[in-house]
Chain A
Amino acid sequence: MTTKLPRLAFRNIFRNLRRSILSAVAISVSALSIVMLFGLLDGMEIDMANNLQSYYTGEVRIRNVDYEKYERYNPLHLGVDWEAIAPILMDNPSVESATARISFPANMYIGENSQVVMGVGADFSTEEAFIDFPAILKEGRLPEQGKNEMLIGSAMARELNLSIGDKVTMLTTTAARGSNAITLQVVGIATFPVGSLNTNMFWAPLDRMQYFLRMEGLSQEILVLLKDGAKESLVAQEIHDEISQSLGIETDTRSWKDLNIMYSMLRIMKVAYYFVAIFFFLLGSTVIINTTMMVIFERMREIGTLSALGMQGSELTKLFLLEGFFISVIGSGVGVIIGMIGNYYLSKVGINFTDAMSGIDLEVSSIFYPQVNILKSFFIWLYAVVISSLATFIPSRRASKIEPVEALRYV
């Protein structure tokens, strides 16, 4: 009898197909939502990691040990000696590439109007490893070392009505804690993936910014990219020690994961979403519970007959549990597959959040590209099947408690 139970349970699904489909759809929608949500979160995590490593911190960031303490005062005089540190980094076998940057706030003057912007002094030859400038450059070219030139974001160009060849004057506080202004010519317009980079940031040659900011030979920070497989926090410690031994100076050298709160938050958020998923599936399972309960009441006569013929209570429970299990398997399977197809499609075309994210200073791109993760999707399917099947267990147990005599009253 036990071996026939799965076949019997599977056949029973088709006895009231519409109700079975309704149950399957509920589970399916839950699974689809979770697969797409996780696809989106995975996409955000990868995107944020890429942006943080390319535009903000590299995989390891080196700064003056006191910089963070006084960061709100823009203490450019607390710089790091790029020329002295670069050879040490190149000698480290885990280091792939390194670049020096100076980030600083400035007032951009266009005629009588001024706007607060962020400037970045960068060496475009070493930046190649970090940022794919040719891919994001929409107009013009990259600024050249030794020239008062700059690259701006496309949103900034549009908002301030700036085009290639225009000149603007920047006023800022220097490392000498005085003020200085310089006129830069727009030679390139790029579309950066992150909204804030696009709207209020300009990039200029490192040597000119060192001169402008009175930071000859110094940079505000050094960003490092590591070879595949290198453990960021271990290499960060290694670099810190090497600089300390060679130059006798203490630096604030940390891995990007230790520096970015938002990234850590995103990872915590993902764990939280696993709990959210439980509620999604429980919600979807209420339809199965309801269907199973209805089925038990409807098939009371059948249950009575089966009991009278000698079927055990536990076998009856198994029968209904298997029905729920099959519906869960099919429903969540369909949901997961549709979710994966949806994620695959969106991973190609992207979801544009440019308008919704305007004014939000977050290191994620304004166009999200969800990720397809087969292993994770399989686990979501398994997760959905287990929770839904367990939920079916509650009404299924009722079938085992029905007395044959009582059930046969319905005959």
Chain B
Amino acid sequence: MCKHDKSKKHLLFPLLLLLVFLPSNLSAVSAEEIIQKMDELATFETSYSTGSIQTKDRFGTKTSTFNAWSQGESDSLIEFTSTAERGQKILRTKGSLYLFYPDAEELIRLQGAALRQSMLGSDISYEDMTEEKNTLDNYKAVLEGTEAFKDTMCYVITLTATTRSVAYPVQKLWIDTENYLVWKAQYSTAQGRLLKEMEVLSTLEAGGRVIASETRIEDKMKRDSHTYMRLDSLEVNPVLDKKIFTLENLTW
């Protein structure tokens, strides 16, 4: 009996220790680490995906389909395949965004405020679509705590811009504590005015990571408008021709 009690005490100590330290262990994960992990898991060495952008506004529903290629944290290419936009391409390389239109003899380079224009009339801006995955270069992160979002425990992190070159001065993110997927995001001005809201509706697994497969984006500056972005397929780390992300290759 006594022996049994002793063994119980032995078990109780580490359990108490775990209970005391478990919350602090969780909070010990810094906001920077979470964001870094989030960026890492959202970045592929290379990827190829197909999907669609469906915009619902006062004039009805419009669907555009696309093929997209990405490489690392800053190179991406999107080619639209739907009839109205067939052949149009958006190329983002480090620091620059170019638009290719089949009937234009020159490429259009979008800069500054033009990057914040709506892409194909959707609630997504060119910058949103091709954003670089280097959040900590432009934002200071603060971990507000944890919160359940759709039965999933999430870190709630507020990002405050440290540069003026970003589209959203303040971002509030709900990041999955397990797979670091951003389930929800609110993008605001420095004064707290909500500009855009994003919510993940469904996910898929690719390359051992959980990726958003359907996202709802709502531009709060537009009335009666929201956009669904769907990934139909995602191929992780395919072998891509390095020329894909060059200007010379953009006109093929």
Contacts and interface: CB of A to CB of B under 8 A. Distances in A.
Contact of A178 (B57, B84, B103, B111): B84
Contacts of B120: 177-179
Given A177-B120, A181-B99, A109 B106 contact: yes
Interface string B93-130: 00000010101111011010010000111000000000
B64 interface: yes
A77 B57 CA distance: 14
B104 A181 contact: yes
Among B85, B104, B111, B120, chain A packs the most CB atoms within 10 A around the CB of B104
A173 interface: yes
A382 to B, nearest CB: 58
B252 interface: no
Contact of B103 (A173, A177, A180): A180
Interface in A122-142: none
B108 A178 contact: no
Nearest to B80: A178
Interface in B37-74: 55, 57-59, 62, 64
A177 B56 CA distance: 11
B88 interface: yes
A177 B84 CA distance: 9
Contacts of B62: 176-178
Nearest to B105: A183
Contacts of A112: 109, 111
A282 to B, nearest CB: 55
A119 to B, nearest CB: 14
A215 to B, nearest CB: 11
Contacts of B103: 148, 180-183, 212
Nearest to A179: B120
B51 to A, nearest CB: 16
Interface in A60-100: 70, 75, 77
Contacts of A77: 59
A408 to B, nearest CB: 89
Contacts of B59: 70, 75, 77, 177
A178 B99 contact: no
A319 to B, nearest CB: 77
Nearest to A168: B106
B247 to A, nearest CB: 14
Contacts of A171: 99, 101, 104, 108
B124 to A, nearest CB: 13
Contacts, number: 61
Nearest to A175: B84
Interface residues of B, number: 22
Interface in A22-77: 70, 75, 77
Nearest to A185: B105
A303 B103 CA distance: 93
Contacts of B106: 109, 169, 183
Contact of A176 (B58, B84, B109): B84
Interface string A210-238: 00101000000000000000000000000
Interface in A163-194: 167, 169, 171, 173-174, 176-183
Secondary structure class of chain B's binding surface, majority of residues = loop
B101 A182 contact: yes
A176 B121 CA distance: 9
A182 B114 CA distance: 18
A259 B62 CA distance: 32
Contacts of B99: 171, 179, 181
Contacts of B85: 176, 178-180
Given A75-B59, A178-B64, A181-B99, A169 B105 contact: yes
B105 A178 contact: no
A171 B88 CA distance: 12
Contacts of B121: 173, 177-179
Nearest to B120: A178
Contacts of B84: 174, 176, 178, 214
Nearest to B101: A181
B105 A180 contact: no
A182 B104 contact: yes
B108 A109 contact: yes
A77 B60 CA distance: 11
Contacts of B109: 112
A127 B187 CA distance: 49
A178 B68 CA distance: 18
B108 A180 contact: no
A173 to B, nearest CB: 7
A212 B103 CA distance: 8
B33 to A, nearest CB: 39
A180 B80 CA distance: 12
Contacts of A177: 55, 57, 59, 62, 120-121
A25 B158 CA distance: 80
Contacts of B88: 178-180
Given A169-B106, A173-B121, A180 B101 contact: yes
B105 A167 contact: yes
Interface of B: 55, 57-59, 62, 64, 84-85, 88, 99, 101, 103-106, 108-109, 111, 114, 119-121
Given A169-B108, A177-B120, A214-B84, 19 more contacts: A70-B59, A112-B109, A112-B111, A114-B114, A171-B104, A176-B85, A177-B57, A178-B84, A178-B88, A179-B119, A180-B88, A180-B103, A181-B103, A181-B104, A182-B103, A183-B103, A183-B104, A183-B105, A183-B106
15 contacts: A70-B58, A169-B104, A169-B105, A173-B121, A176-B85, A177-B62, A177-B120, A177-B121, A178-B62, A178-B85, A178-B120, A178-B121, A181-B108, A182-B103, A183-B105
| 8 nearest CB pairs, A to B | A176-B84, A181-B101, A177-B121, A183-B105, A181-B104, A182-B103, A178-B120, A169-B104
